[in-house]
Amino acid sequence: MLTKIKAAIIDLDGTMLDTAADFHVAVNRMRADLGLSPLAQQTIVNFVGKGTENLIRRVLAVDYAEDEAQQYFEQALAAYTEHYLQINGDFSALYPGVLEGLQAMKDKGLRLACVTNKPIAFTLPLLEKKGLRSFFEVVYGGDSLPKKKPDPMPLLQVCSDFGLAPAQVVAIGDSSNDAQAARAAGCRVLNVPYGYNHGESIHDVDSDGIVQTLFEAAQQISVQ
């Protein structure tokens, strides 16, 4: 049980929403624009987690050497952004227990923030489309602040927004990015086992526990 918790910072991709198919469609439409062959969904998912720029660089690195990939980067990023905005949320789905978990956290009096490395222009419409936006007082995307997870800056910003000490805040996410950011910020951290985590086992990540759903996470958190 995590005690004396006043707020939760929750990740988006791989934590609340299975967005793998959205990434798959948008990336492969971008690759088609560049005359490249499609990639398997799992290959793309393994590149997810450290922001859109990193995703595009990893995707281009499949076909190009570093110098050549850089030449195509801006074109690829623009194409990917256009395609993603067109299909944002169309192929994604809520994980089990997400709505119940968020509601249970609210019922306990926890303040909620969503912090993701997804660009804010993708994040806000997606939260609205999936009925999640109203749960969160604060939403930060990967381009909302100068640094993104695994840097602690976004988590520390939420703590400041809420007027809380980091020890009163728990981060919940599917990857090492969330755990590293939380540890560096001084927050508690819970991980879910069903997300992406760069293709690596979440059981190797330093956290305060693994919960099967956000509803289970809510049960593990106490405001007292």
Binding residues: 11, 13, 174
Residue 11 annotated in active site = yes
Spatial neighbors of 24 by CB under 8 A, at least 6 apart, are: 39, 41, 44, 45, 91
Task: Cite the annotated binding site for Mg(2+) by residue number.
Answer: 11, 13, 174
The DSSP string of 10-47 is E--BTTTEE-HHHHHHHHHHHHHHTTPPP--HHHHHTT
User: Which of 11, 18, 22, 178 is an active site residue?
Assistant: 11
Strands (DSSP E) contained in 106-174 are 111-115, 138-140, 169-173
Instruction: Report the alpha-carbon distance of residue 122 to residue 140 in Å, rounded.
Output: 11
AA letter at 131: G
Residue type present at position 206: D
| Residues taking part in catalysis | 11
